[in-house]
Amino acid sequence: MGRHRLSNRVALEPIGESFKIDELKERLKKRFPNHNFNVPAPPDTKCKSPYLCKTNDIKYRDSDGNEYCGLRFKQTDENNHYIWEWKVCHAMIHQAKPVFKQDDIPF
C-alpha cells in the first residue's frame, strides 16, 4: 500500500484574491460614506430572553474582565413553531473597569 503525496503543482490561493475583501470594503464605503469602519461596534447589552435572564446564574467573562450572560434558550422558527434551535444570550451584564498598571501611567 503506497502513501499518497501531494503534487508540487498544488498551491494555495492568496486570501485577498479568493474572498475579494478589498472590493467588499470599497462597496461598503460607497454605500455608507459617513460611517467609520475603524471604530468597533459596542457590545450587545440587550437580553435575548428577558424573562429567563433575570434568574440566570450562567455567566462568563472575557479576557478584559467583562461579564456576559451565558443562558441557553430555545428559539422557535417564525414559520413553523415545531422547529427550534438552541441559542445563547451573550449579552454584556457588567463592563469591566479599566485597570492601570504603574508602567502605563506616564510621569
* Predicted confidence (pLDDT) per residue in 38-78, tens digit: 888 888 888 888 788 778 888 999 988 899 999 898 889 99
90 phi-psi bin (left φ>0, alpha ψ -120 to 50, beta other):
left
pLDDT exceeds cutoff 80 at 20: no
**pLDDT (0 to 100) of residue 1:** 47
pLDDT exceeds cutoff 80 at 30: yes
**pLDDT (0 to 100) of residue 35:** 86
Considering the entire predicted model, what is its pTM?
Answer: 0.57
pLDDT exceeds cutoff 60 at 32: yes
- Residue found by looking up cell 430555545 in the block: 74
Is the distance from CB of 89 to CB of 48 less than 8 angstroms? yes
**pLDDT (0 to 100) of residue 86:** 92
| Strand locations in the chain (E) | 59-61, 67-69, 72-76, 84-88, 92-94
Q: Sorting pLDDT into bands at 50, 70 and 90, what band is 103?
A: low
